[in-house]
Amino acid sequence: MHLTFNPDRLSSLFNSLTYDQFVTKVLHKAFPKNDKVIKSHKLLKFDRTPFRLASVGMIFHSRQNEPHLIIEHRSSHVPRHPNEMALPGGAYDQSVDRNLLDTFTRECQEEIGVSKKLLEAHSHLRFQTTPTQFMVLPIVCSSKRENLKLKPDLHEIASISSVSIAELVSTARANQSIPYFSNCKEFDLPLFHGWSFKLVKGSNKRKHLIWGLTANIIAQFCSSVDKHFFN
């Protein structure tokens, strides 16, 4: 796999913007809001495939007036993807969810205690499939409040981190072989390295590694922004 964006110029773009500028100049322009598309029942058309539907959110928020991304560190006790860095979200439940935006906002409330009233959903990226037979819709969001009060579900989430999107993009690497431990396969995936600040359970800065589905979604976001501004 090769990166379809330039990490240096994209990081430079993000570094030059305050959070409000990032929302108006990047999110609003590269991902124009379209409620009808996000809430479309057509996005459930894959329901008869072998894959289960799910949705996650890239939630951008302000930290020291700079754009940061919320990342979860999943608990070691969860059955799927333990100890991995992930985006808030989960599986579609047809008994309560009208669409995949409902899925994301419900899971976001359950996992990290953030109400949909505090988020602005801009648009969505392409579906991503996982080796665990999920088809995941990534939704691009921004926080309407500077200081989000987060309440993680400690059964699922070990901690929640805030990651500078500019710093994160600058660490992007491609063609890295990572073992997928449940079936001993290896995949060539994009990787992101960097420092993050815990939003709950203290504020210590720590190094992290993002790979797999989450890295693919971040890379897809970066490619869309790079294409919009530089191609």
Q: How far is CA 35 from the centre of its chain?
A: 19
Residue with tokens 């996650």: 56
231 residues of the chain, pLDDT tens digit each: 578 899 999 999 999 999 999 999 999 999 988 777 777 777 777 666 688 999 999 999 998 899 999 998 876 666 566 667 889 999 999 999 999 999 999 999 999 999 999 999 999 999 998 888 899 999 999 998 877 778 877 777 878 888 899 999 998 987 555 554 444 445 556 777 655 555 555 555 566 778 888 989 999 999 999 999 998
Give the separation between CA 57 and CA 86, rounded to whole angstroms: 10
How many residues comprise the chain? 231
**In the structure encoding, which two tokens stand for residue 177, read together?**
């072989």
User: With respect to CATH, is domain 7-230 assigned 3.40.50.2300?
Assistant: no
Cα dist. 40→27, 36, 100, 102, 124 in Å? 20, 6, 8, 11, 11
Give the separation between CA 171 and CA 222, rounded to whole angstroms: 12
pTM of the predicted structure, to 2 decimals: 0.87
What confidence score (pLDDT) does residue 75 get? Answer: 65
- Of the CA atoms within 13 Å of residue 194, those in its CB half-sphere come to 25
